[in-house]
Amino acid sequence: MPSIKDAKIAILATDGFEQVELTEPLAKLKEAGAEVHVISPKSGTIKGWDQDHWDKEITVDKTLSEVRVTDYDALVLPGGQINPDTLRADPKVVSFVREFFNSKKPLAAICHAPWLLIEADVVRGRDITSYNSIKTDVKNAGGNWLDQEVVVHEALITSRNPGDIPAFVAKIIEEVEEGRHEDRKVA
């Protein structure tokens, strides 16, 4: 597995995240050597949704008010229906997502998380995938929706559903690794 040692990656979520869409990337990104923080608008813990029921609580490492875009090499947005719908109603979250997108660092969204990208107005003219049920939302926001397990448009990485997690995480690692090589070339 490629190493992204010393990379710092944020996973932004709140109650109702699709459990596997947070826990699998968290584990795999740590396994690849990254320091990964679960960030949320609230402190303490956030509760996962596992297909049809509430499940595990995950500890929040830092609140959104404690972090800046410059603290991280990549941002991951897990889906589920509840999590991104709640987050997109928070102007501070939307601003953070937009600022992260504008940083040109890897920004990865899976399942319903592209709702956050739509709210941040960053999908227009870009190739995007998502959970099938929000395909029309992506198109209405000006995105070019594609039915593929992972779609990359510049540093924007999107996937459709939990079945795509292996390809999603592999692409995050690849993009973080490439971004870090680019930084070294510039320095």
- Annotated catalytic sites, by residue? 111
How many Å separate Cα 86 from the centre of its chain? 15
Residue among 102, 109, 108 nearest 69 (CA): 102
Cα separation of the two ends of the chain: 26
- State how far the Cα of 86 lies from the Cα of 91, in Å rounded to an integer: 11
- State how far the Cα of 53 lies from the Cα of 66, in Å rounded to an integer: 30
- State how far the Cα of 179 lies from the Cα of 187, in Å rounded to an integer: 12
